[in-house]
Structure 1
Amino acid sequence: MNPLERLRAATAERETAGLRRRLRPRTADHDGLIDLASNDYLGLSRDPRLIEAAVEATREYGTGSTGSRLVTGTTRLHQALDERLASFVGAPAGLTFSSGYLANLGAVAALSGPGSLVVSDQVNHASIVDACRLSRARIAITPHRDTAAVEAALAERTEEHAVVVTDAVFSVDGDLAPLAEMHRVARRHGAFLIIDEAHALGVVGEGGRGAAAAAGIAGEPDVVLTLTLSKSLASQGGAVLGAPEVVETMIDTARSFIFDTGLNPAAVGTALAALEIIENSPELPARARANARRIAKLAESHGLESRVPDAAVVPVFLGEPLTALRAAEKCLELGLRVGCFRPPSVPAGRACLRITARASLSETELTGLDLGLRSVGDPTAP
């Protein structure tokens, strides 16, 4: 078969199954749609203070970082962000990467490697899955949030070194990992616990300091945090936070840090400004969580399967990909932009709408969502 014919055939199969994905460019105002799909949890992406911080950083340092952080890509802003991120979540030290994806690749691979065991939750984010594959360690996949299975995997290992890795808030279901218990298990067996705070930073815990801080384990020497700057901080980039020895190991051995161009100055300046706003506006995380709970109740009131969220992610489970795709299109017709998650992002039979709450959602926007969810729950509704 011609190579392109093979690709065309595979694309046609995905189209039939409702698994085709398309790029949908948006305008500055989301085409006038109510945004319930982005990860802008605190509604800061258009905040003038963040925009000005990005402009100021660009004026001072230019449009790009000009090289890897080990060459020319580290500025005083990068160093300030390393320190501020660590201080904010209660970790001893930090290191900024150019994306959260690369932070996970770096942390998991650098702290494990051949001859190690990595224990990973079965619904961890794709970046963690890929990090496990690249680590060349033996991988044990455990059932979702099952600490007994994690303990069994660690107890049965023959490897000297082990790492347990989990999302703090899982990116589709929106539920919280049992971090305090997982830490106790990891410590009993001499393992690092790596926690991806991507969907928890800025939303979970007092003042949005994250799930590890809420669980009281953020500063522990055997706890490593990864995170992204692209959600609550309305910027772009990622970070690894932990003991100074962990950061030193990242600098020396994490390939996704050493061989990658540093985060551009505008993104660094934006993240610093966002952190300052969050520190001075502790009501924002609580508002995002409250709006998420309200969205889940709206979905359930229309007979839709959802769950009470632990952060800002609200799933509405619809089953099959085509059903979820039609529901998302219906929402679009009603002026709502929602996420539509289908395999492989979710298991077969669990296709869903993924609705994200923002701290800045208005009553008018929530009323519009209520009408959209009513239409999804009852297609005959006017």
Structure 2
Amino acid sequence: MSNNMLNSFLNNNIADLKDRGLYNEIDTVQGANGPVIKVKGKEHINLSSNNYLGLATDERLKKLAKEAIDSHGVGAGAVRTINGTLDLHINLEETIAKFKGTEAAISYQSGFNCNMAAISAVMDKNDAILSDALNHASIIDGCRLSKAKIIPFEHSDMNNLRQKAKEAVDSGRYNKIMIITDGVFSMDGDIAKLPEIVEIAEELDLITYVDDAHGSGVTGKGAGTVKQFGLQDQVDFQMGTLSKAIGVVGGYIAGKQNLIDWLKARSRPFLFSTAVSPADAIASTRAIELLMESTELNEKLWENGNHLKDGLKKLGFNIGNSETPITPCIIGDEKNAQEFSKRLFKAGVYAKAIVFPTVPRGTGRVRNMPTAAHTKEMLDEAIAIYEKVGKEMGFI
């Protein structure tokens, strides 16, 4: 492809995205990502962060991270399989396993890496994966990388799942079949029907994989969606991130010891990429310990989430069917959603528009992520701004 061809391709397609309201402008946060952030020199109530429990700026974790730099350096220095496995990584994995109620765990550089690594290490072209239609992009990409047959089922439709699972089993075409689902669906805030999924899997001898990136630290009093339903002994793969409620960076898979042994031997991001830094490892470990010691932050998160939901719903906004603190304001038209977000920003609320391909066409929205660090006064101010802008645009 010549430079002229490349430039034409890029310029035409960027212009098309902008014209359809699908181009995402990336903002720079000037300082820490807390409940209030500074963007373009002005402070805004922050409703777009995944920092559910406020731990990204927790003073206890910051202190430990600084100490880890002094004792272990700023980087791991090698891939895990050579000499990049530090004692801090082992402590992190043992803590994760205890937290998730499993025999063992393996940590990765990100949640996205987890799904790319774990799915393709176990599933191949002779297998099939039953994937919820609204699964996260990292799940979709992990499934594609495995080269397994991907069989989507209607979102949280257990009759559809059972039918497609039975068809896949009865066909005799596949060596292994996996059901994979988000634990909490990040765009709508609803929770997967894990008891029914496990029931179908056990009936048909299928593998189960739950991506609980938005559930760990949030559902199950912080322990996650799998433990909320008491299914930690029945779900084969528990995946989670260390970058959302945990407040740091990285990801993990928790499960049986033989699964973790296999992933350490065959999952490519583990084999060929340097591990998270010592500071990240120790901060993540302590954050998880804090969740096991107390449910205070989790309870505050849910209190704030319910307060924001109630306020926006009373104003007449369509907040969907969220079962978690995630609170979408569904606008529909992508351009309207983008404009709504821009006007909220001008009024002092930072809440990004989410449009296709992150959500289906025609379901553009502003997604709100209240955290344990917000005060009631902050949320009340945000609700008042939503009312003002919503009435100006004729949405309520």
Quote the offset at 1:293 in angstroms.
Answer: 2.0
SS of alignment partner, residue 351 of structure 2: strand
Q: Check conservation: 1:199, 1:311, Cα contact below 8 A.
A: no
Is 1:53–2:64 an aligned residue pair? yes
Q: Check conservation: 1:204, 1:310, Cα contact below 8 A.
A: no
Quote the offset at 1:368 in angstroms.
Answer: 1.4
Q: Check conservation: 2:127, 2:174, Cα contact below 8 A.
A: yes
Inter-partner Cα distance in structure 2 for 1:313 and 1:175: 9
Amino acid at match of 1:210: G
Amino acid at match of 1:199: H
Inter-partner Cα distance in structure 2 for 1:146 and 1:380: 35
Inter-partner Cα distance in structure 2 for 1:370 and 1:113: 48
Is 1:3–2:17 an aligned residue pair? no
1:217-366 matched pairs, under 5 angstroms: 217-220=231-234, 222-307=235-320, 309-366=322-379
Q: Normalized against structure 1, the TM-score is what?
A: 0.96
Inter-partner Cα distance in structure 2 for 1:306 and 1:51: 35
Inter-partner Cα distance in structure 2 for 1:122 and 1:17: 24
Quote the offset at 1:154 in angstroms.
Answer: 1.8
Q: 1:167 aligns with which of 177, 182, 185?
A: 182
Inter-partner Cα distance in structure 1 for 2:393 and 2:69: 52
Inter-partner Cα distance in structure 1 for 2:325 and 2:278: 28
Q: Which runs of 5+ in 2 are unaligned?
A: none
Inter-partner Cα distance in structure 2 for 1:145 and 1:48: 40
- Percent identity between matched residues is 28
Inter-partner Cα distance in structure 2 for 1:156 and 1:89: 32
Q: Normalized against structure 2, the TM-score is what?
A: 0.93
- Residues 1:286 and 1:204: Cα distance change in structure 2 (over 3 Å): same
SS of alignment partner, residue 202 of structure 1: coil
Inter-partner Cα distance in structure 2 for 1:306 and 1:88: 31
Question: Number of paired residues?
Answer: 379
Quote the offset at 1:273 in angstroms.
Answer: 1.7
Q: 1:100 aligns with which of 103, 106, 111?
A: 111
Inter-partner Cα distance in structure 2 for 1:380 and 1:327: 8
State the Cα deviation string for residues 136-191 of structure 1 (Å, max 9, x = none).
Answer: 10000111011222222221113121111100000100100001110111111111
Match of 1:24 in 2: 27
State the Cα deviation string for residues 326-365 of structure 1 (Å, max 9, x = none).
Answer: 1111111121111210000000010100100101210221
Inter-partner Cα distance in structure 2 for 1:160 and 1:6: 42
Match of 1:78 in 2: 89
1:108-127 matched pairs, under 5 angstroms: 108-127=119-138
Inter-partner Cα distance in structure 2 for 1:314 and 1:264: 33
SS of alignment partner, residue 164 of structure 1: strand
Is 1:44–2:47 an aligned residue pair? no
Is 1:196–2:236 an aligned residue pair? no
Q: Check conservation: 2:190, 2:322, Cα contact below 8 A.
A: yes
Inter-partner Cα distance in structure 2 for 1:135 and 1:28: 39
- Residues 1:107 and 1:331: Cα distance change in structure 2 (over 3 Å): same
Quote the offset at 1:223 in angstroms.
Answer: 2.1
Q: 2:157 aligns with which of 126, 132, 146?
A: 146
Runs of at least 4 residues of structure 1 off by over 6 A? Answer: none
- Residues 1:162 and 1:211: Cα distance change in structure 2 (over 3 Å): same
Inter-partner Cα distance in structure 1 for 2:327 and 2:190: 9
The alignment yields a C-alpha RMSD, in angstroms, of: 1.4
Moved more, 288-297 or 257-266: 288-297
Amino acid at match of 2:137: A
Inter-partner Cα distance in structure 2 for 1:376 and 1:82: 46
Inter-partner Cα distance in structure 2 for 1:187 and 1:246: 18
Inter-partner Cα distance in structure 2 for 1:229 and 1:356: 17
SS of alignment partner, residue 33 of structure 1: strand
Q: Check conservation: 1:73, 1:263, Cα contact below 8 A.
A: no
State the Cα deviation string for residues 3-34 of structure 1 (Å, max 9, x = none).
Answer: 21121011111111111122211111521211
